[in-house]
């Protein structure tokens, strides 16, 4: 975790909690926090989203609130600075939950959402470096070099961003935003825009936002699975521990989760080497770390 990333996460926590302090709903707090992370360029979301193999930046986002189980999501959206706001447009301005590809982009542009700049020269050079690494996968050593490149990217914190929140009315909300994974094929969709996989929120149980390798998260519908365990009486810590163990044993997948119960108990857990995350209840200073076994119940 760089100093800039830590400062950005603190700002995001303050922005989200600031909305709650004003009496805004949890959905507003989640969107505010994620918009700040998307605009930073420091994470794999918004203007920092990775380029796909064809050199195009396509992004996914979703959010959900737990009172009415309302949800919205976009997949493969282009040109938009804040995909999380595009996901909210789908929820509030259409009868749908998920829009994908060019129609999602057209909807966002119709509502005049801010556009993002073209990919930077640095991003294009990074893509070409990764593509050259693919070409060297002619031996176990070549494959190992590529894995090392990807591991460094993950360690640098260039992953999905997300947030969960609980407001004064007792409503929980969750959201997530991403540029996908390094070297993904155009058309690939991960867990982030899939309700029940990348995020889920239900006032009767809690809210979850996921990060990690989407293919494994999808196969276990991890966000909904964690929420279902909390609905059955398990704590946030116990719920996410059980699902992460299942992910590791059945799929050998890697993920991290932000988990929040309606009573304010929470957990931040991961089975990856690092997960840059933080929490704040408005007292003292925000807690931001890159390794977590954190929870309050």
* Cα(179)–Cα(236) distance, integer angstroms: 27
HSE-up (13 A, CA, CB side) for residue 23: 0
211 is catalytic: no
**Hey, what are 238's tokens?**
């116990």
DSSP 66: T
**Is there a contact between 145 and 134 (Cβ–Cβ < 8 Å)?**
no
**Is there a contact between 21 and 282 (Cβ–Cβ < 8 Å)?**
yes
* Cα(24)–Cα(102) distance, integer angstroms: 32
Three-class SS state of 274: coil
CA 102 centroid distance within chain: 21
Instruction: Name the catalytic one among 2, 94, 138, 160.
Output: 160
Active site residues: 160
């Amino acid at each position: 975790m760089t100093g800039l990333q830590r400062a950005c996460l603190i700002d995001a926590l303050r922005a989200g909690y600031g909305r709650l302090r004003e009496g805004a709903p949890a959905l507003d707090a989640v969107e505010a926090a994620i918009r700040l992370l998307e605009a930073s360029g420091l994470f794999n979301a918004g203007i920092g989203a990775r380029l796909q193999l064809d050199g195009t930046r396509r992004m996914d986002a979703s959010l959900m609130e737990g009172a009415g189980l309302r949800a919205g999501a976009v997949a493969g959206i282009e040109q938009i600075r804040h995909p999380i706001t595009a996901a909210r447009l789908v929820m509030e301005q259409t009868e749908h939950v998920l829009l994908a590809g060019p129609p999602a982009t057209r909807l966002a542009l119709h509502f005049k959402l801010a556009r993002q700049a073209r990919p930077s020269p640095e991003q294009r050079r990074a893509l070409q470096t990764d593509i050259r690494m693919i070409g060297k996968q002619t031996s176990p050593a070549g494959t190992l070099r590529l894995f090392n490149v990807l591991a460094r990217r993950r360690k640098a914190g260039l992953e999905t961003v997300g947030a969960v929140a609980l407001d004064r009315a007792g409503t929980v909300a969750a959201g997530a935003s991403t540029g996908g994974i390094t070297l993904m094929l155009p058309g690939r969709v991960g867990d982030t825009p899939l309700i029940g996989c990348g995020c889920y929120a239900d006032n009767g149980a809690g809210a979850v936002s996921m990060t990690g390798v989407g293919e494994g998260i999808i196969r276990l519908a991890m966000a909904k699975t964690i929420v279902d365990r909390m609905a059955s009486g398990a704590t946030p810590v116990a719920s996410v521990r059980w699902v992460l163990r299942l992910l590791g044993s059945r799929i050998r997948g890697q993920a991290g989760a932000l988990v929040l119960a309606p009573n304010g108990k929470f957990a931040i857990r991961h089975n990856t080497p690092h997960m840059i995350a933080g929490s704040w209840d408005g007292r003292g200073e925000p807690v931001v770390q890159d390794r977590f076994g954190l929870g309050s119940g």
